[in-house]
Amino acid sequence: MTTRACPDWPTLMELDPELQFKHYSAAEARLGAEVLIKVPALTLPNIEICCDLDHHVFYSEHTNLELAAALSGGDWLEIQEWAQRKRGQSRGS
- For the stretch 37-85, pLDDT in tens is 999 988 888 899 999 999 999 999 999 999 999 999 889 999 999 999 9
pLDDT score recorded for residue 6: 95
pLDDT score recorded for residue 82: 95
pLDDT score recorded for residue 17: 95
Secondary structure of 28-92 as H, E, C letters? HHCCCHHHHCCCCCCCHHHCEEEEECCCCEECHHHCCHHHHHHHCCCCCEEHHHHHHHHHHHHHH
Specify the pTM: 0.88
